[in-house]
Structures are given as structure tokens and as C-alpha cells.
Structure 1
């Protein structure tokens, strides 16, 4: 069976400061909530002398949005809150409610892990309230964080964070505290990423500026790693444990490769896929175990099909779709859990569009500004006004396995750095219609 892939931009939002992380709330009752974090380096006064020169400051802003994916609702996103913060390097929602509230964790340039709880106002909108924070130590940036309960299990909630000193910190969440359980030197330079195994939350993975991928068992103490891999040839900056398949781990690096691993054998990866850009973030799909979203810095965003690799077939993962409409470093990416209708409505002032297969024909970008909300809609059309899917390099259709047994529609949020833009877009993957409408029979 042939399959048809289509991506479509729904809304674009200018974050003003450089955007580097986006996260949809994973809790079903709050899956309409989207958070976006920014990072801006403010350089000191150029007239300052070397003696009185101060270190550059790093500022950030946390945005909160409400999303309504109904076809009749435009714009899709409504900004509900913005909070000025230290520069944000990572955001993660806890997959289980804490004290009956969704909880958002934030890794900041001030070296803190900050927690915010999501509250609902009397008007029915959601807003974040500061809950608590803990410092990782002086003169360091918190670079990443991960929650231990990525599979939605609620017992013994913990956080792991990595920082610019090369250290990892394991933290325990209490009723009113976030306490460091242990901290250790894990990498020679920046520890860009840290992540739990969601199947055994005593296991932690880390990647650093020293090109190394390491594993740690918290039960054994952090004196030495359980393994050290130099399989990546540059900085390791993304790791994500598969919440649906035990032992499966995805890692990404500045070396422009995504590696899939079986955690029981970290000597050799299951597969290696070149994606053409440094892999800053990796996200497994919320329900489809074989779909992986990759933010590839200099080469946009890609959806990989990992089924054959997970089954032990030593081959690169096919790229099912690519989203190419960002104009800067592709940093933040996440899947939404919101259900989507099978049809996509035309944008305002846009002619009705016809879904077509993947083609090689050229297109042009039309941008329509909606200045009151600092957002605009983007569409890719040909000269006749018909929709063209984003161009992407796909394997031959015969080599791409069916991703699911039926059509799949997904909502995504992605963000890019220097152009300070966040995009919300959808991906539709469906069987090609083999039955063409019958030709009218001319009358005799």
C-alpha cells in the first residue's frame, strides 16, 4: 500500500527572544496547554574596559498558550501568559499530576531548576504559578532536565539535571521541596543532556561536550558509569528513552546522526541515521512507539520511522516527513496529544486547497500577518493557489513500511533560535486513494 505524507503550518508566533524549547502538557485534561521557553544573551557595553567588564547576562521568557484545534477556531493558539525569567535552556512537564496539579520544570541559566504549577482561573483560562526552585551550584548553567515518570507512573517522582560544569544532579520531589539526592562530575566539559530510563528509573543516561554517551545506575552510586560510549563523533546533546518499548533509547549529536540503542547492549547501536544537521532534541511519539521527531539544528525537523531498527534490522530509519519552514536553528520540538479532525480547514483569505502527493514542483511562500497577536499563518502554494506539501527527502515508497494500520494526524510545535519563531503545524499520513473518480461518459 502506498502512503501519502503532508505537513501544513497552522500558526506561527514571534517569541521576540530566541526560542529554544517547546513542550505540550502530557496530562489528558490539560493537553491543550503549550509552553515555550526562550534564551537571550545580552552582551555588556562595548565601551567597557577589560578591568570593569561584566559577564554577559542571559535573560528568558516563558510563554503559555491555549490551543483549540477545532476547524472553525482561528487563530489556533491564544497566548494566556508570559513570565520574564532567567534564560531557559530546557522545559519538561511532569507526566503525572503533583498535588493534583500539572507541574512544569525549567532548567535556567541561573543554575536553577524551577518548578511551576498550572492553575485554572475563574475565567476558565490556565496560568502558571511559581512553586519552588533549587540551585545546582555556583557558576553554572542548568542545561537539561528530565522527569523519572515519563510513562505516567506516579510513585517516587524524581528529576535529573545536567549542567555546564559537566555535572549531573539527581533530585527528589517532596511535598514542598526539590532536594538534591546526589551530584557528580559526569563529563569533562558541558553535560548537554541527561535523561532517565523510563522503564528502570534508577538508570540515568547523559551526553556531553566530550563526545561521550554514558550510563549511570543510581543504586550503585555515581563513582563510575555503567558504560561509556564514544560511538558519536561529536558532542552528544539529545537522549530520549522510548516510553512504549522497553530498552529502546534514541540519541543525537552534533555529528548529525540519530542512533537507536538497545539498553542491554550499549556496545553497538541498533541503527544509525544521518539527518544532515546536529540533533538538538529527540521526542518519541506519545502513542506510536516507532515514530521519532528530531530537531536537527541546521537541517530542520524530521519524523523518522524506527520500526525495522527496533526489530533488529541494521538499517537507517526512513524519514517519513520533514518540516522546512523555519529560517534558523531548529531547537525545540514536541508532539501534541490533542486529537485532530481528518480535514484541515483553509486559512483566512486562502483559497480552498487540494491535498496532493509528494511532488517535485516548486512553490512560493505566502505570509499573512495578524499583528494584534504577533502571529501569522504560513502556507506553501503553487501559482494556481493549490497546496504543496513541504519538500523532503523520502526513501522509495517500497522501502517505507506502513506506520500504522490507518490514517494518522498529528499536531506538532517547533521553535527556532535566531529568528525567534514558534510554529504549530500538523502532519497527516494516510493511504493513497487508489480509486480515481470515474470520467464522465460523453453523450452520443
Structure 2
């Protein structure tokens, strides 16, 4: 079956500082909440001043799809803080509230609660903080709650000293349970197996992927893989299919694994850029989102591999409107209306846009000249999608749904890029051709 795949930009937001992490809230009633983290290295003012500092900012947004003439994102809050390396929401509410975890350049793991304020809006408030080590950067975190299980809430964190830490959260306070030296250099990523949260995976700049069983202690790993030829910087356990794990590396490869046999991956897919983050779709087990640093953002259809067929995971869609390193990416659980059967409004010619709004502040041009679109005017105003039709058709021919999922999808996503400090919110529509 042939498929039509289309990505459309909904809004672009300038984060001012370099953006490296975006996370949609997975907790029911807060699916419209988006967090974005930034990381900025500040160098000394003079030539002889070699001092550097790292600063960051945490943004909180609300998404409202109220029509094509209104920007869907509303900024709720910004918090100037330490430089942020990673953000992750706990998948379940804790004491009735959503909780956001932040890995900071100070070596601290910080938690915030999402609360309603007196004005009827929502904001983040500090819950707890714990330093995982001095003179190191906290690089990543993951919650044990990936399958929406709240029976044993823990956090795993990796750092620039090559260590992995496991922490518990009881009565709103973080407590360190264990910490060990896992990698020779930076431990870029750590993650739970969502099916057995006593198992932890880690990846480091020593090019090694390792597994750890917390029941027997971290004296030695349960496995060590060197299938990646460069630093391992992304790991995500599939919350829908047991034993399935995705890993990514600076070697530009996405590997899919069966956790029962970590000697050989199920699949190897070349992405054309270092794979900084991987995210399985929250509902559809075969869709995998990849942030590929020098090669944009891509959605992989892993249905054939997960069905036992092996091979390479084909790209179902790509989002290429960023102009810098593709770092942060995430799926939203927010429902979107299915696309209408009619064709979208045609893009207005570029010249007429200039006549209506003057010179455009943010402009993207496809390397293949397949589109040319602008999303903000020189005053930073929002230009609706009917005028700035920043869409690129992508066609793939993946297998039909392996588990009987609905054949038509409309997904909301967010992504961010580093040096151009941009946050993008976009949608992906994936529908079969008419018979």
C-alpha cells in the first residue's frame, strides 16, 4: 500500500538561548503543556579571561488549536536557571500533580511540579533538588514510569564523569539509592527498561552500550556492546512491546535491539547525522522519532522489524525546517482532528508576502527549492499556516499496520535546534492513498 506523508510547521519560537530539549507533558489533563530547555556557554569578556559559565532557561508553554489565524503556543512561564542538558516529565501524576525532571550543568537533578495558579493558568514550582556529583554535568535522566506504572517511582541520571545514579522520590524528596562508574568518559545517556525497571541501560562517549541489573548491584554490567562505533547518546525502551530498545549514536546509526539478546541488533538504520534523541510514539509501537543533529528530524517506521522481518527501518516522514543542530524532539499525546479531505490552501507567492509584511525575520529555503516559506514578520508576528505553508511532502511505502492500528494518523510534535535557538511545533499527517 502506498502512503501519503506530510509535515506542516505550525509555529516557530525564538528561545534566545541555544535550545536542546523539548518535552510534552504525558499526564492526562496536561497533554497541552510543553516544556523547553536551553543551554548557553558564556565565555569571559576579554582575551585573557578564560572563565566560562553555563546558563539556561526553562520555558513552559500551552498549546491551543483555536484556528489558523492564532498562534497555537502561549508562553506560560520562563525560569532563568542553570544550563539544561535534559528534561523529562514523570509519566504519571505524583500527589495529583505532573512533575518535570531537569538535568542541570551544575551536576544537579531538579524537580518541578506543575500547578494551577490564581489567574487560572499553570506554572512550575520547585519540588526537590539533589546534586549527583561535584564538578560534573548531569547529562540525562529517565523515569521508571514509562508504562504509566506509579508503583515504584525512580529516576536514573547520567553525568559527565561517566557515572550513573539511581534516585527515589518519596514524599517530594529525592534520595540517592546508588551511584557507580559506568563509562570511561561522559555517560551521555541512561534509561530504564520500562518492562523491568530493575534493568537500566547506559551509553557513553567510550562507544559502549551497557546494561545493569539493580538487583545484583552495579559491580559489573549484564552486557557490554560495542556495535556503535562512536559515542552512544540516545536510548529509549519501547513502552508497547516488551524487550525492544532503540539506541542512537554519533556514528549516525539507529539500532533496534531485543533485550534478551544484546549481542546483535535486530536492525541498523543509517540516519545521516548523529542521533542525539530517540522517542517511541506514545500510542503506536512501530513509530520512532529521531533527532539527527546535522541531518534534521525523522520518523522511522519500524513495523517490519518489530514484526520479525528484519531489515532497515524506512523513513516515513522528515522535518527539515531547522537551520542548526537537531537536538530535542518529542511526540504530544494531544489529539488532533483528522485532516480534511480537501487540499490545503495554496501558498501565497513569496513576493505578495513581502508586500503585506515587509522583510521577513525568519526565512527557510529548501535545498531542493521544493518550498520557500516564512513564519514570522520583522516584528516577530505570527503568519498563519494558510499563508506560510511550510510543508514538504514525503512518501514512503511501509508495511501495512502490523498490529491493526488505524491507517490514518495526525500527530503533534515539537523539536528544537541549538545554535539558531529555535523551537518548532509541527504536525504530521500520514494517510493511505485513495483506492
Does the TM-score normalized on the shorter chain lie above 0.5? yes
Q: Tell whether the 8 Å contact from 2:410 to 2:430 is kept in structure 1 after alignment.
A: yes
Equivalents in 2 of 1:247, 1:326: separation in Å?
Answer: 33
Equivalents in 1 of 2:162, 2:44: separation in Å?
Answer: 26
Equivalent of 1:213 in 209, 214, 223: 209
> Which structure 2 residues correspond to residues 313-328 of structure 1 after superposition, within 5 A?
313-328=309-324
2:226 is aligned to: 230
Q: Tell whether the 8 Å contact from 1:9 to 1:377 is kept in structure 2 after alignment.
A: no
2:392 is aligned to: 390
Equivalents in 1 of 2:160, 2:99: separation in Å?
Answer: 24
Q: Tell whether the 8 Å contact from 1:9 to 1:423 is kept in structure 2 after alignment.
A: yes
**Deviations 1:375-432 (Å, cap 9, x if unpaired)?**
64586x9xxx89574265x55x3x5444743310000000000000000000000121
Equivalents in 1 of 2:172, 2:390: separation in Å?
Answer: 52
1:300 is aligned to: 296
> Which structure 2 residues correspond to residues 8-23 of structure 1 after superposition, within 5 A?
8-23=8-23
Greater mean deviation of Cα atoms: 332-341 or 72-81: 72-81
Q: Tell whether the 8 Å contact from 1:309 to 1:316 is kept in structure 2 after alignment.
A: yes
Give the Å deviation of 1:349: 11
Equivalents in 2 of 1:420, 1:376: separation in Å?
Answer: 17
Give the Å deviation of 1:132: 1.2
Q: Tell whether the 8 Å contact from 2:256 to 2:268 is kept in structure 1 after alignment.
A: yes
> Which structure 2 residues correspond to residues 69-218 of structure 1 after superposition, within 5 A?
69-71=65-67, 74-218=70-214
TM-score normalised by length of structure 1: 0.88
Give the Å deviation of 1:298: 0.4
> Which structure 2 residues correspond to residues 324-343 of structure 1 after superposition, within 5 A?
324-343=320-339
User: Which is greater in Rg?
Assistant: 1
Equivalents in 1 of 2:383, 2:321: separation in Å?
Answer: 12
Equivalents in 1 of 2:192, 2:384: separation in Å?
Answer: 37
Q: 1:239 to 1:386 in 2, by over 3 A?
A: closer
RMSD: 2.4
Is 1:369 matched up with 2:370? no
**Deviations 1:236-281 (Å, cap 9, x if unpaired)?**
0000000011100000000001000000000000000001100000
Give the Å deviation of 1:111: 0.4
TM-score normalised by length of structure 2: 0.90
Q: 1:255 to 1:75 in 2, by over 3 A?
A: same
Equivalents in 2 of 1:375, 1:305: separation in Å?
Answer: 36
Equivalents in 2 of 1:370, 1:119: separation in Å?
Answer: 34
Q: 1:327 to 1:183 in 2, by over 3 A?
A: same
Q: Tell whether the 8 Å contact from 1:324 to 1:391 is kept in structure 2 after alignment.
A: no
Q: 1:389 to 1:433 in 2, by over 3 A?
A: farther
Is 1:7 matched up with 2:3? no
Q: Tell whether the 8 Å contact from 1:61 to 1:84 is kept in structure 2 after alignment.
A: yes
Equivalents in 1 of 2:235, 2:307: separation in Å?
Answer: 20
Across the two proteins, how many residue pairs are aligned to each other? 415
2:38 is aligned to: 38
2:427 is aligned to: 426
Q: 1:376 to 1:137 in 2, by over 3 A?
A: same
Q: 1:433 to 1:311 in 2, by over 3 A?
A: closer
